[in-house]
């Protein structure tokens, strides 16, 4: 499993057509199965308990989802035996000036249900958006902060490669919601691509909301990746827009590590198109011990309007564990 793939492009790598591959293993890493095998071979035997723990976690999750999928299986069908769970758990400490105790726990679980022809996924996560969100906790927008509640949802697709999906579930402090999302990409050349998406949702208390985003990604001949992201959120309750503009640069360092440089600004449309925060960071990510075990160090500087844009310096330290079919 590519750490760069998981880190930077998992949200864009799903079901995208040729000729432009969004940051894949071959695009940013030159590691091979032999390299990974060598890395495992040189791991000390004292670390075998880690592999056993991760294997037991995967097996226990798979057993649970097989039992769940069996409820939907037709009589005589054994498709439920192919049900699998995959996900990640991330624990982070994000101390910064004026707040040294900031902790962040994130998790994602996705379950494929073969008995429903793989058109329905069961999603369980720490927020309503199943896609990766790498922003530190202190820098998340009001909408993102409200999302930071355990969410359980069913996601429906007409086919596995469909660009349109629908969800129904609970989130945002127990609210029932429905959501429709469309996402796609447009190749602009052999190394340039445009990614775009739009979604609309309705909550029982927060009412209607929508958002749309677009990203342009360029992969250089040296496998460096440049990306410009823009996103807008509409809030029906306050009848305003939130916006986010971001620039990212990814630099592969080795087969098992990369550096990601990020600058973004966020703000709101009311009382005017005003700036709410500025964030800049350099994140180093590596998986030297296991393919499914990652470590991150991210020094950052954060400017917030509610703190009169006084710079707040910090560093995020994270450990991330993946499990499931790709771990």
DSSP code per residue over 11-68: TT-TTPPSSPPPS-HHHH----HHHHHHHHHTS-GGGHHHHHHHHHHHHHHHHHHHHH
pLDDT of 145 reads 54
pLDDT of 2 reads 47
For 270-282, what is each residue's pLDDT tens digit?
Answer: 878 899 999 999 9
> Does 284 or 36 have the greater pLDDT score?
284
DSSP character string of 113-134: -GGGTT-EEEEEESSS--S---
Q: Is the dihedral of CA 242, 123, 229, 164 positive or negative?
A: negative
Q: Is the dihedral of CA 318, 137, 15, 196 positive or negative?
A: negative
Q: Which residue blocks in the chain are alpha helix, DSSP H?
A: 3-8, 25-28, 33-41, 48-70, 142-147
> Does 36 or 324 have the greater pLDDT score?
324
pLDDT of 146 reads 53
pLDDT at 131 over 80: no
Please, what is the average pLDDT of the chain?
81
Q: Are 121 and 14 in contact (CB under 8 A)?
A: no
pLDDT at 143 over 50: yes
Task: Quote the tokens at residue 194.
Answer: 């445009």
pLDDT at 295 over 70: yes
pLDDT of 128 reads 67
Apex CA 323: angle with CA 102 and CA 171, to 5°?
55
Instruction: For the chain, give every domain's residue range.
Output: 3-323
pLDDT of 17 reads 40
pLDDT of 39 reads 43
Distance CA 3, CA 270 (A): 39
The fold of the 3-323 domain, in CATH, is Porin (2.40.160)
Task: Kindly state the average pLDDT of the residues 87-104.
Answer: 91
pLDDT of 56 reads 87
For 200-251, what is each residue's pLDDT tens digit?
Answer: 999 998 889 999 999 999 999 999 999 999 999 998 877 889 999 999 999 9
pLDDT at 20 over 50: no
């Amino acid at each position: 499993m590519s750490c760069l793939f998981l880190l930077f492009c998992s949200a864009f790598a799903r079901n995208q057509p040729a000729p432009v591959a969004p940051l894949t293993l071959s695009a940013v890493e030159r590691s091979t199965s032999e390299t990974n095998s060598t890395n495992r071979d040189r791991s000390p035997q004292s670390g075998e308990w880690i592999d056993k723990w991760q294997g037991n976690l995967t097996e226990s999750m798979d057993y649970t989802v097989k039992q769940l999928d069996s409820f939907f299986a037709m009589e005589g069908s054994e498709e439920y035996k192919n049900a699998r769970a995959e996900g990640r758990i991330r624990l982070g400490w994000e101390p910064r000036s004026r707040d040294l105790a900031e902790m962040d726990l994130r998790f994602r679980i996705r379950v494929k249900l073969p008995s429903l022809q793989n058109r329905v996924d069961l999603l369980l996560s720490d927020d309503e958006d199943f896609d990766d969100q790498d922003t530190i906790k202190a820098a998340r927008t009001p909408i993102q902060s409200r999302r930071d509640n355990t969410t359980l949802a069913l996601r429906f697709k007409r086919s596995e490669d469909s660009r349109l999906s629908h969800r129904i579930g609970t989130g945002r402090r127990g609210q029932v919601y429905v959501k429709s999302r469309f996402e796609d990409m447009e190749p602009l050349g052999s190394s340039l691509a445009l990614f775009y998406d739009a979604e609309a949702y309705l909550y029982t208390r927060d009412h209607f909301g929508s958002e749309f985003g677009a990203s342009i990604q360029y992969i250089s001949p040296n496998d460096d990746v440049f990306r410009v992201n823009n996103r807008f959120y509409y809030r029906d309750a306050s009848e305003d827009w939130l916006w986010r503009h971001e620039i990212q640069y990814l630099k592969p360092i080795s087969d098992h590590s990369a550096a990601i440089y990020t600058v973004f600004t966020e703000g709101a449309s009311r009382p005017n198109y005003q700036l709410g925060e500025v964030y800049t960071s350099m994140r180093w990510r590596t998986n030297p011990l296991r393919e499914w075990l990652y470590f991150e160090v991210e020094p950052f500087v954060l400017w917030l309007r509610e703190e009169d844009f006084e710079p707040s310096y910090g560093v995020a330290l994270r450990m991330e564990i993946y499990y499931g079919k790709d771990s």
